[in-house]
Amino acid sequence: MDHDKIEKLTQELLIELGEDPQREGLIKTPERVARAWEYMSRGYRKNVKDVINGALFEENAHGMVIVRDIEFYSMCEHHLLPFFGVAHIGYIPDKKLLGISKIPRIVDMFSRRLQLQERLTQQIADTLFETLKPIGVGVVMEARHMCMQMRGVQKSQSITTTSAVLGDFHDDAETREEFLRMISKPV
């Protein structure tokens, strides 16, 4: 990422908005914006292999593995406004387990890119399915979109829910129901 270019573009944006980029509150804004975008887009500079970092384990485990309430933050590719919420992820292993901390790291890798919630949900499910070759995978994401809440329709209480189910989570209604029950239980 070219920090100097992002700073220059931010300064130009401030001018186009009718602001004075030299006033006290805005002098360091272009620099801050460049650093913020570097952080918010760090998912582009990560890949699945590095995120997993060898944390795949051969194990004779067949019960459902669920990590729920994984916080995530992303940016809508249509308006460059944030959307954020929680992801609930489950899989049924078939001789391979993934270190559980790697699941939120995969969510983070894909969410720290310009995104659509629907694509984000599918990318996470596809990655787990391809990496683990499990019996099934389920991903449910719930998010609040600032593009809907602070502009446009301005529905501040709206929550968008998306899902991606593969393998037995797709093919077997009982497995899917078990997953949905488990992610909706209070802690």
Tens digits of residue pLDDT in 138-156: 999 999 999 988 888 888 8
Helix, strand, coil percentages, rounded to 5, for the chain: 45, 25, 30
What is the pLDDT averaged over residues 19-43? 97
Residue 23 has pLDDT above 90, yes or no: yes
C-alpha closest to that of 94 among 129, 122, 123, 50: 129
Q: Where are the domains of the chain?
A: 3-40, 54-184
Q: How far apart are CA 107 and CA 163, in angstroms?
A: 14
Burial class from Cβ neighbours inside 10 Å (0-12, 13-18, 19+) for residue 15 reads exposed
Residue 187 has pLDDT above 80, yes or no: no
CATH for 54-184, options being 3.40.30.10, 3.30.1130.10, 2.40.50.140, 3.30.450.40: 3.30.1130.10
- Whether 76 is a known active-site residue: answer yes
pTM for this model (two decimals): 0.94
Q: How far apart are CA 163 and CA 176, in angstroms?
A: 11
**pLDDT tens digits, one per residue of 75-109:** 999 999 999 999 999 999 999 999 999 999 999 99
Token pair 């809440």 in the structure block, residue: 149
> How big is the CA angle at 111 (ends 107 and 112), to the nearest 5 degrees?
120
- Whether 145 is a known active-site residue: answer yes
- Domain at 3-40: CATH architecture: Orthogonal Bundle (1.10)
Dihedrals phi, psi of 168, to nearest 5 degrees: -60, -25
Q: Tell me which of 3, 31, 79, 122 is the catalytic residue.
A: 79
Q: Tell me which of 62, 71, 78, 177 is the catalytic residue.
A: 78
Strand pairing of 114-115 and 96-98? unpaired
143 dihedral zone (left: phi>0; alpha: psi -120 to 50; beta): beta
Q: Tell me which of 38, 59, 71, 77 is the catalytic residue.
A: 77
- Whether 147 is a known active-site residue: answer yes
